[in-house]
Amino acid sequence: MPIEDHALVNEFPEFKEDIHQLKMDDAHFRKLYDEYNHLTKSVEKMEQEIIPASTTEEEQLKKQRLQLKDTLQGYIKATRLAAEKA
pLDDT digits (tens, 9 = 90+) for 13-65: 999 999 999 999 999 999 999 999 999 999 999 999 999 999 999 999 999 99
Q: Is residue 2 part of a domain?
A: no
* pLDDT tier for residue 5 given thresholds of 50, 70 and 90: confident
pLDDT for 1 beyond 90: no
- pTM recorded for the entire structure: 0.89
Angle at 15 between CA 13 and CA 18, to 5 degrees: 140
pLDDT in tens, 49-62: 999 999 999 999 99
Helices and strands, number each (H, E), in the chain = 4, 0
Q: What amino acid is encoded at 35 in this protein?
A: E
Q: Which domain holds residue 30?
A: 7-85
- In this prediction, residue 4 has a pLDDT band, given cuts at 50, 70 and 90, of confident
Residue 11 lies in a domain: yes
Q: For residue 2, is pLDDT > 50?
A: no
Establish if 1 belongs to a structural domain: no
Domain count for the chain: 1
